């Protein structure tokens, strides 16, 4: 029986560990290695969720941010709806009806004046020397086959379109509008040139040097690729 008692721990140790059996004096130590260790009730337990308070804090913070966002959105919607509500209330009132009648009458008068103005402008063009087929052209008396799409209806049309840019009626109207814009900018530029000179001549303002032409001059005083970019614009 003593042999059975001494060999049983060795057999279990070899079975579970795959190592050679220890000596007889180490049987108790081997059995201690195989048996599970009891956990003391006084040992600190590791919580399953280590930081629940922090997570709850983040959750509460996100909820508060969402609530604040909804409050701001509600305020924006309310304040943006006030003008529309006021306009609708005025439109449905007697004052709104009166304003609509006045606007309709004003629009009708404006349309009639516009039609009369267009008719007078057409008569003036027909009577003018600078409009129509008989207008002076850019080559004067030299015979030349001028483009058929340039009929002299537009101001400044002297039949000059050697590149054929005005063949498309839409493009021709676009270039006409661009020319008007360029003329307006030129008039503004002339005012910017004349006014500073007059102010200095009259003694109201003294400029150290002429400043109106320094703007274009400064654009040319750059180097390298920057100059090329500015010139390409």
Distances (CA, A) of 153 to 116, 172, 183, 188: 18, 12, 19, 27
pLDDT band at 13 (very low <50, low <70, confident <90, very high): low
- How far apart CA 90 and CA 100 sit, in angstroms, is 11
Q: What is the C-alpha to C-alpha distance for residues 161 and 117, in angstroms, rounded to an integer?
A: 30
Residue 80 has pLDDT above 90, yes or no: no
The residue written with tokens 């009730």 in the block is: 41
72 is in an annotated binding site: no
Q: Render pLDDT for 133-189 as a digit per residue (tens, 0 to 9).
A: 889 999 998 999 999 999 898 888 899 999 999 999 999 999 999 999 999 988 988
Task: Residue 155: name the closest of 136, 126, 130 by CA.
Answer: 130
- 228 carries a ligand binding annotation: yes
188 is in an annotated binding site: no
Q: At what angle do helices 27-34 and 2-17 cross, to 10 degrees?
A: 50
Residue 201: CA atoms inside 13 Å, Cβ hemisphere, count?
6
pLDDT band at residue 41 under the 50/70/90 scheme: very low
């Amino acid at each position: 029986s003593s042999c059975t008692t001494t060999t049983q721990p060795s057999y279990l140790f070899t079975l579970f560990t795959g190592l050679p059996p220890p000596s007889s004096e180490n049987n108790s130590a081997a059995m201690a290695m195989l048996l599970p260790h009891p956990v003391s009730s006084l040992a600190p337990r590791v919580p399953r969720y280590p930081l629940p308070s922090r997570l709850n804090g983040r959750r509460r913070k996100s909820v508060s941010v969402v609530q604040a966002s909804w409050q701001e959105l509600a305020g924006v919607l309310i304040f943006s709806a006030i003008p529309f509500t006021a306009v609708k209330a005025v439109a449905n009132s007697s004052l709104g009806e009166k304003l609509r009648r006045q606007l309709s009458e004003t629009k009708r008068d404006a349309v009639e004046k516009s039609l009369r103005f267009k008719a007078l402008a057409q008569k003036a063009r027909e009577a003018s020397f600078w409009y129509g087929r008989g207008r002076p052209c850019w080559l004067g008396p030299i015979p030349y086959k001028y483009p058929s799409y340039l009929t002299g209806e537009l101001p400044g049309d002297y039949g000059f379109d050697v590149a054929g840019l005005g063949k498309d009626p839409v493009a021709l109207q676009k270039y006409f509008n661009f020319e008007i814009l360029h003329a307006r900018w030129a008039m503004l530029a002339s005012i910017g040139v004349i006014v500073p000179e007059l102010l200095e001549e009259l003694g109201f303002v003294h400029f150290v040097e002429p400043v109106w032409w320094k703007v274009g001059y400064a654009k040319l005083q750059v180097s390298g690729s920057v100059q090329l970019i500015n010139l390409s614009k």
